[in-house]
Amino acid sequence: MPECHGKRLRKEALAVKFDGRDIAEMARLPLKQLAVIMEWYATGRAFKKKEIEFHPERVAVAQQIAQNLYARLSLLLDLGLGYLLMERSSPTLSPGELQRLRLATQIYSNLFGVVYVLDEPSAGLHPADIAALLRALDKLKAAGNSLFIVEHDLDVIRHAEWVVDVGPGPGDQGGQVLYSGELPGLAKVSASSTRRYLFCEERMPYREPRKPHGWFILEGIARNNLNQLDVAFPLGVFVTVTGVSGSGKSSLVSQAVVDLLSARLGYEAPAPEEGEELRQPEPVNESGKITAGMENIKRLVVVDQKPIGRTPRSNLATYTGLFDHVRQLFAATKMAKARRYDAGRFSFNVPKGRCATCQGEGSVMIELLFLPSVYAPCPTCHGARYNAKTLEIVYRDKNIADVLAMTVDEAKAFFQEEPPLQRSLDVLREVGVGYLRLGQPAPELSGGEAQRIKLATELQRAGKGYTLYILDEPTTGLHPADVDKLMIQLNSLVDAGNTVIVVEQDMRMVASSDWVIDIGPGAGDEGGKIVAAGPPSKVATIKESKTAPYLAAFIGN
């Protein structure tokens, strides 16, 4: 807007200034800088002698407000959020940032006797930020509260005074409390797979880094806090990009590289997702170009945590394509042939075979006046999704609904004589989702599960080469044992002639990669530069890198 210049307020409001800035200018400062100003006023150093003499009441009020603000701001800085601008709109914050903002509000409230439940507060945090998080959690505890934390990060687990280990396996193979007690006692529980990572040597065995078969070079990248950055990614190897939260690593990989490469490969820009169009447009300061490496990249695949589908009609079996093969098996049975049922008959998205009452949804929506609608199992098919005639067809004593109810592990045993299905089921098991049901509706899957299903789908197409895979923090929500499985799969993509670039905080994964690019050194204005680039053993020795000391602890001899 020409009138307010995007400041959203009228002239009169903007005429009021504090420390020479109006409220809109104030809101555009990073919290860290705002804290410096507030400290200046909170301690009284900012006031002139004359002011103190003639308007002591004004000084007292300003000092009081500044002290109050400074106390709140220092909590946010403690939590590693000093790079955020006050005007940053909440939909653009990452889940981890939001969780830490809520945490700061709780610490400031000075409540006691509260039980706080946190789900993976370390998600997306650099080890240096995790140390800050633990200090904040200690404050909550010291104030007389209890903290129940669901967590995979070993440093957070080691910090706890009481550990409950649930398992031993995922899904049906889990659900038992293996241990509940102080940390050292877990060392004796042989069934625990957490134990292995908590008490054993963490260093990764040394592996000679792969030799790149080319370089992908970008120049003059400007975006968020990246300013005219030049960067070179080695191709045909496993690359990890590290840096503290807010350093600009996601801006570089998940935004700049993805946008520039998509445009060059002629991909269409993805349509904005539901809700995303409400976000404020980012300031237009984007630039950058690809100057080398295109001859070695034929395809870009972003394996992200977005859902594999938005309706209960998509599921693991339909997404990976293995359901097509299952439907053909049913259509090939004697009884199906006699009745002239084709593969389409066994799709719950096609009218002829599905339940007419729920149209293949398996559930019906009940609209309630003044209340949100609820879903109830379909009264006709009881959730089977198909009509009775379709369900009469059995393949080795199981009907199509029975197959959808199987877990990946069960299906692997059931379809032993079907090599094409075995391949799909094997990769799903290898990425660690063997416990999911084939028909599990997409909206029920977590972001991490969706990401691993996408990865499995890619792995099935193995042997292509010249593909660049991008993953943003794929270890979020994964147990160290699952991280190991994931690494085996990513390495197999690289061995097939592809390039994998992973934005990652998990030092186990970083230590076992071929090449590390560390962005920083700090967050926001203090980040956005390449601090170190090279094999992990070299990056671990760079003094300026905040990642180096944490990485060094994992580097093998």
Interface residues toward Zn ion, by CB under 5 A? 355, 357-358, 378, 380-381
Type of residue found at 520: G
Q: How far is the CB of 323 from Zn ion (least distance, A)?
A: 18
Shorter beta-carbon distance to Zn ion: residue 355 or 510: 355
Write down the least CB distance from residue 280 to Zn ion, Å: 43
Half-sphere exposure of residue 321: CA atoms within 13 angstroms, side-chain side: 11
CB of 379 to Zn ion, least distance (A): 8
Helix axes 480-495, 447-460, angle to 10 degrees: 30
Burial of 200 (0-12, 13-18, 19+ CB in 10 A): exposed
Q: What's the rounded Cα separation, in Å, for the pair 290 and 278? A: 31
Residue nearer to Zn ion on the CB measure, 210 or 313: 313
Burial of 12 per CB tally in 10 Å (0-12, 13-18, 19+): exposed
Helix, coil or strand: residue 162? coil
Q: Which is nearer to Zn ion, 384 or 494 (CB)?
A: 384
Nearer residue to Zn ion within complex by CB, 381 or 531: 381
- Minimum distance, C-beta of residue 160 to Zn ion, in the bound complex (Å): 46
Q: Is 229 helix (H, G, I), strand (E, B) or coil?
A: strand
CB of 410 to Zn ion, least distance (A): 23
Smallest distance, Å, CB 341 to Zn ion?
A: 18
Query: Judged by CB, which is closer to Zn ion: 357, or 416?
Result: 357
What number of other Cβ atoms are within 10 A of residue 556's Cβ? 14
Identify whether the C-beta of residue 517 lies closer than 8 Å to the C-beta of residue 242: yes
Minimum distance of Zn ion from residue 383's CB (angstroms): 7
Among 338, 345, 435, 333, residue whose Cα is nearest residue 386 = 345
Are 406 and 438 in contact by the 8 Å Cβ rule? The answer is: yes
Nearer to Zn ion, 67 or 314 (CB): 314
Nearer to Zn ion, 322 or 358 (CB): 358
Partnered with residue 167 across adjacent β-strands are: 176
- Cα distances from 264 to residues 147, 227, 249, 296, 347, in angstroms, run 49, 21, 21, 13, 38
- The 3-state DSSP class for residue 201 equals coil
E-strand ranges in 293-347 read: 299-302
Residue 303: strand, helix, or coil: coil
Identity of the residue, 401 or 523, whose beta carbon is nearer to Zn ion in the bound complex: 401
Asked if 193 contacts 168 with a C-beta cutoff of 8 angstroms, the reply is yes
Minimum distance from residue 385 beta carbon to Zn ion (Å): 6
Q: How far is the CB of 400 from Zn ion (least distance, A)?
A: 13
Q: How far is the CB of 381 from Zn ion (least distance, A)?
A: 3
Considering beta carbons, is residue 327 or 354 the nearer one to Zn ion? 354
| CA end-to-end span of the chain | 60
Contact 490, 462 (CB under 8 A): no
Structural element, H or E, at residue 64: helix 56-78
Nearer to Zn ion (CB atom), residue 381 or residue 542: 381
